[in-house]
Amino acid sequence: MRPVSLPSDKNTPEYRIASRTSNLALRQVEEIASLLPELRYKVVPVASFGDKNKHISLIGNEISDIFTRELDQAVLQDDADFAIHSAKDLPYPLPEGLEIIALTEAFDKTDALVSQSGKKLNELSANPKLGTSSILRKAELMKIRSDIEIVSIRGTIEERIAQVDNGTIDAAIIATCALKRLGLENRIAEILPFETHPLQGNLAIVARQGNQELRNLFTSIDIRRKHGSVWLVGFGPGDPDLLTIKGLKLLQHADIIYYDDLTNHRFIDDFEAEKVYVGKRKNLHSFEQADINKLLYQSAIQGKKVVRLKGGDPMIFAHGGEEIDYLAANLVDVRVVPGITTALAASASSQIALTHRDHASSVTFLTGHRPEEIHIPQKGTVVVYMGASNIQVIAQKAITEGRKPETPVLLAYNVSKPDEEIEYSTLQEISNSTRKYKTPLIITIGEVANRRPNRKASKVKPSYLVTGTKQHVNDPFREVLHIPLIEIRAVSDNEVPNLQPYLTNSDWIIFTSRYTVRYFFEILNKQGKDARALSNLSVASIGKVTSAELSKHGIIPDIQPAKESSIGLIECFKERGINNQRIFIPRSNLGLPVLPKGLGKLGNTVTTAIIYTNTEPGELSIPHPDKFDIIVFSSPSGVDNFFKKVNFPITNKKFITRGSETRKRLLEKAVDANNILNSEEYETLS
């Protein structure tokens, strides 16, 4: 054991460090001491259970604290002030009363092959014996060579290498950082292309909870200070209005958002964070859960503010527990914001109470993926998630286990969304049915489902169908159906224009929508430039929303017309006598000719470039007209897409339009002009 070198300041406290007795463990103590020159210490040697029982194989072993238990007990019993562990050896959760006060940087996370004569893995003879103590390393090895015989080896690094040298095994897999700490780099035959444990190479300092003095001592070397955090946020069943205020705030400030199928994709488009789709539907996974866990972890240790956005509630049939366990076990700060789970939303939408004094005093949530494994209680309300494909089997099982065949059942499809459907049935009807039910479906079984509400109450305010990308109706007491009939997307990579020639050869640039601003700057940034590229140009904005988007990039437009339309902008240029100018207009593939033609007639030269696409959404249905009184259009393309999809009469409906071109397009559809309200009402809705 290395003699302790004490600083000259005798008033500095001397700390007792619990450490295993191997050379590697003592080198790890020295490594910590080198990071904290002011540290005065003495080592309290402790033999761990794993050290004393080297016959126990670690492959498939469930003893999570095999190398840490005795050291942690020494700290808890005040025989040591803190313990130093290889971070990957930490149990999860830690023993009660302990906390990790520091996690050090790992200087190498790779695995190395140690072999006789320095042979590489592909140079070993057929059916080689390879020693390892890790089930992860075993799996990685078998991906490369299927003829390998895995031998479980234990002991110190030196003892493992000795087994290679004496021919017991042909090679061993050893953490590169361990070899480097021991000065054994010369034994590395090759670095293996392995996925390793997230905490391989890191050292963890464990102390009794609440010791602020020790926390302060180790703050400077704790890399968790640079880490970000992960928030699991429940989006709710689909209606963005059901998102919590806390969830909304996190989305607004996130660096990256991982989202799934049950969230509203168009809603999250408005947030500045990077978005990554990680949806998982039956038999169609964009990422497996283990991969999602790793993505969250990597983003967090890069210092990012991470939101994992989940449909419904993160803790109800949403793998939230798995993500929490993975992140917390790897020392990443993870927290949860609840969401409205679909069962509660279906209850609210149908006005069927899940509990009722006369009918049900309990609620059971079940998943219908494996009906053979579930038990359906004979009393109370039962709500089945993800049960559409097994609904007949579930109904039959409920009857077999004691429910009456005539027990009412509520079926709710796409809860809280514009195309939500609710129907009523019984266990008997469903069990005898051969029908294929749509998904996502929530199934509510019990007497409460028989209490159908009386829906004859008159409406206090009109209901709206809003067809643009934004809802634009912010009065919560109005009934609003928001069905975007246009879909905004970036142009494909091979169609992205080079913006520099347009900017170099223009005097003005005009932004006609917030999407123009957003996609223009996305392209500009990818091409290695920022807002400074516009410093020699005059900037015009078509309205307040567009100007607000420009302000995010530090740009205040030179012109913003009072009349927020192409015509208004043309009139503004005319009033100011702006002519003989070179004007660049970035726009969508459906950009109207009104603005370029109008500015051209004033004597200007106008060029345009497509930077995003405006397309018709696929697989989108519009509910029956009885559900709404007023239809709101924000663009001519929305009008076109609406009339492509409707297959019902639209008599006795009122319309609100944004801009003269949208009104003109609506009139072309033979709509009575008397039914089109003053376009100014569009602005008063929001």
The predicted structure's pLDDT at residue 8: 42
Share of the chain above pLDDT 70, in %: 94
CA 354 vs CA 13, 166, 427: distances in Å: 61, 70, 17
The predicted structure's pLDDT at residue 419: 79
Q: Are 111 and 173 in contact (CB under 8 A)?
A: yes
Residues 6+ apart with CB under 8 A from 509: 503, 534, 537, 538, 539, 540, 583, 584, 585, 586
* Residue range(s) of every CATH 3.40.190.10 domain in the chain: 14-105+202-223, 111-192
Tokens found for residue 17: 């460090």
Look at 275 and 622; give whichever has higher pLDDT: 275
CA angle 70, 76, 77 (to 5 degrees): 90
**Euclidean distance between CA atoms 223 and 203, whole angstroms:** 11
pLDDT digits (tens, 9 = 90+) for 253-310: 999 999 988 777 778 888 989 999 998 665 555 689 999 999 999 999 999 999 999 9
The predicted structure's pLDDT at residue 527: 95
Q: What is the mean pLDDT of residues 332-338?
A: 97
| Superfamily classification of domain 111-192 | Periplasmic binding protein-like II (3.40.190.10)
Q: What is the mean pLDDT of residues 650-661?
A: 83
280 part of the active site? yes
Q: Are 612 and 515 in contact (CB under 8 A)?
A: yes
| Of the options 3.40.50.10090, 3.40.640.10, 3.40.250.10, 3.40.1380.20, the CATH number for the domain spanning 489-615 | 3.40.50.10090
Q: What is the mean pLDDT of residues 97-114?
A: 97
* Range with top average pLDDT, 231-235, 490-494, 592-596: 231-235
Q: What is the mean pLDDT of residues 3-10?
A: 46
Task: Check pLDDT > 70 for residue 9.
Answer: no
The predicted structure's pLDDT at residue 2: 42
Tokens found for residue 204: 């963890």
Phi and psi, residue 324, nearest 5°: -60, -45
Catalytic residue among 89, 111, 260, 640: 260
* Residue range(s) of every CATH 3.30.950.10 domain in the chain: 344-450
Beta bridge partner(s), residue 540 = 510, 559
292-296, 570-574, 645-649: lowest mean pLDDT where?
A: 645-649
Share of the chain above pLDDT 90, in %: 71
Task: Check pLDDT > 70 for residue 561.
Answer: yes
* Residue range(s) of every CATH 3.40.50.10090 domain in the chain: 463-486+618-684, 489-615
267-276, 376-385, 529-538, 621-630: lowest mean pLDDT where?
A: 621-630
**Pairing between strand 421-426 and 408-413?**
antiparallel
The 3-state DSSP class for residue 528 equals coil
Residue identified by tokens 């993975």 is 326
Residues 6+ apart with CB under 8 A from 112: 173, 174, 175, 176, 179, 187, 188, 189, 190, 191, 192
Q: What is the mean pLDDT of residues 545-563?
A: 94
Considering the segment(s) 463-486+618-684 as one domain, its CATH architecture is 3-Layer(aba) Sandwich (3.40)
87-91, 150-154, 464-468: lowest mean pLDDT where?
A: 464-468
Which pLDDT band holds residue 651 (cuts at 50, 70, 90)?
confident
Residues 17-44 as b or e (16 or more Cβ within 10 Å = b): bbbbebebbbebbeebbeeeeebbbebb
pLDDT digits (tens, 9 = 90+) for 156-201: 999 999 999 999 999 999 999 999 999 999 999 999 998 899 999 9
Beta bridge partner(s), residue 150 = 130
pLDDT digits (tens, 9 = 90+) for 219-239: 999 999 999 999 999 999 998
Catalytic residue among 119, 138, 180, 280: 280
Could you say which DSSP state residue 535 is in? Answer: T
Average pLDDT of the residues of the chain = 91
Task: Check pLDDT > 70 for residue 682.
Answer: no
* Residue range(s) of every CATH 3.40.1010.10 domain in the chain: 227-340
| Superfamily classification of domain 14-105+202-223 | Periplasmic binding protein-like II (3.40.190.10)
The predicted structure's pLDDT at residue 483: 83
Q: What is the mean pLDDT of residues 645-656?
A: 79
Q: What is the mean pLDDT of residues 55-65?
A: 84
10 part of the active site? no
Q: What is the mean pLDDT of residues 115-144?
A: 93
Task: Check pLDDT > 90 for residue 453.
Answer: no
Residue identified by tokens 């005319």 is 574
Considering the segment(s) 344-450 as one domain, its CATH architecture is 2-Layer Sandwich (3.30)
Check if CATH label 3.40.1010.10 holds for domain 227-340. yes
